[in-house]
Structure 1
Amino acid sequence: MTLVKVCGIRRGEDVEFLNKLLPDYAGFVFCKSKRQVTLKLAEELVKKLDKRIKRVGIFQNNSLEEVKNTAEMLKLDVIQLHGREDENYIKNLHPFKIWKSVSIDVKSSLEDLKDKIDKISNCNVEAVLVDSSVGGKTGGTGTSFNWNVLENLNINKKLVLAGGLNPDNINTALECVKPYVVDVSSGVEENGVKSFKKIDQFIKKVRNF
């Protein structure tokens, strides 16, 4: 069964929603984003988070020291990387589980994507996270991509599907792709904040698929 990650957790109310709905993963953003949290705030939120929900820290070109310190302080289950982090950088994060992103946009050629995924697949990562990019912006774009392109990519790691997912399109996405995890953020928000109703709808659709 596909697992669910709700990303961009930044309020006590968000944690309350998750504790009632129990997604498999909760994501906390530590890089430039409107959903970015400080380490202090993340510590407060994680203390309240149900222990059954795994903790994911999202980073993009953060210093290795910052990532390791954050991961250790919060006892992260997964470190999710969205930047230029290379194989050596990833080796230095052992023994944490790593999800490394690759971005797809309308200008991405199949060969470019294959090259990116081959490089990630050669690294010691648990999963490849496939996300959309818009105008060079990666992660948190709220825009989906053509999921059918994944049929032509040989991904030998677990697949995390992100980018523009919401309760209205998740069934279509799951018909095209059979990911290990689906990752949602803006798709379960209203007026820029997490919506209990939308998170509930999203999780139910994934688990009933």
Structure 2
Amino acid sequence: MTLVKICGIRRIEDVEILNKLLPDYAGFVFCKSKRQVTLKLAEELIKNLDKKIRPVGIFQNNSLEEVKNTAEMLKLDVIQLHGREDESYIKSLYPFKIWKSVSVDGKDILDNVKHKIDKISNYNVEAVLVDSSVGGKTGGTGINFNWNVLKNLNINKKLVLAGGLNQDNINTALECVKPYAVDVSSGVEENGIKSFEKIDEFIKKVRNF
């Protein structure tokens, strides 16, 4: 069964929603974003998070020391990296589980995407997270890409699908990509705030697929 990560958790009300609906992962953003949280706030949110939900920290070009300290202090289950972090940087985060992102834009063809994913797959990562890139911006764009470039892709790591997912297109995405996990943020929001109804519908569609 495909697992579900709800990303961009930043309010105690968000945690209360997740505790009722029990996605597999909750994402906390520690890099520049409108959903960025401080270490202190994240600590409070994670303390109140149901223990069945695994906390994920999202970083982009943060210093290695900051990522390590945050992961250790918050006991993160996964470190998710969206920047220029190289193989050496990733090795230094052992033994934490790492999800490293690969960005796909509208011009990417199958060979380009495969090359990007193969490169990351050789790193010591648990999963490759494939997200959309729009106008050079990566992560949190709320825009999806052509999932067909991932169809029947044979990689040796788990694949996490992100980028513009919502309750209306999730079945199509699952059918096409068959990922280990799906990652959603703005697609389950109403006016920038996490919506109980949208998260509920999204999780049900994934788990009933």
TM-score, normalising length: structure 1: 0.98
Deviation sequence 1:175-206 (CA, Å, 0-9, x none): 11111100000000000010000000000000
1:14-68, Cα deviation, whole Å (9 max, x unpaired): 0000000000000000011100000010001000000000010000000000000
Which residue does the alignment assign to 2:33?
A: 33
Unmatched runs of 5 consecutive residues or more in structure 2: none
Moved runs in structure 1, 4+ residues, more than 6 A? none
RMSD of aligned C-alpha atoms?
Answer: 0.9
What amino acid is aligned across from residue 103 of structure 1 in structure 2? S
Q: CA deviation at 1:152?
A: 5.8
**TM-score, with length taken from structure 2:** 0.98
Task: Tell me the number of residue pairs that the alignment of Structure 1 and Structure 2 aligns.
Answer: 209
Task: State the Cα deviation string for residues 60-112 of structure 1 (Å, max 9, x = none).
Answer: 00000000000001000000000000000000000000000001011223333
- Structure-1 residue corresponding to 2:54: 54
Report the 3-state secondary structure (helix = DSSP H, G, I; strand = E; otherwise coil) of the residue aligned with 2:151.
helix
Q: CA deviation at 1:118?
A: 1.7
Structure 1 residue 86 and structure 2 residue 89: aligned? no
Residue matched to 1:44: 44
Distance in 1, matches of 2:153 and 2:86, equals: 21
Find the residue that maps to 2:41 and give its secondary structure: helix
CA contact (8 A) 2:56 2:78 kept: yes
Q: Provide Cα deviations, 1:146-178, integer angstroms capped at 9, x if missing partner.
A: 111102643220000000000111011111111
SS of the residue corresponding to residue 58 of structure 1 reads strand
Partner secondary structure for residue 102 of structure 2: strand
Deviations 1:116-154 (A, max 9, x none): 212101100000000001000000000011111102643
Residue 141 (str. 1) matches residue 141 (str. 2):
yes
CA distance in 2, matches of 1:125, 1:79: 10
For structure 1, list consecutive stretches of 5 or more residues without a partner in the other structure.
none
Please give the alpha-carbon distance, in whole angstroms, between the structure 1 residues aligned to 2:52 and 2:10.
Answer: 18
**Which SS does the other structure have where 2:206 is aligned?**
helix
Amino acid at match of 1:167: Q
Q: Find the residue that maps to 1:61 and give its secondary structure.
A: coil
Letter in 2 for 1:62: N
In structure 1, C-alpha distance between the alignment counterparts of 2:178 and 2:109, rounded to whole Å? 22
Partner SS for 2:159: strand
Q: Which amino acid aligns with 1:43?
A: E
Amino acid at match of 2:72: E
Percent of residue pairs bearing the same amino acid type: 87
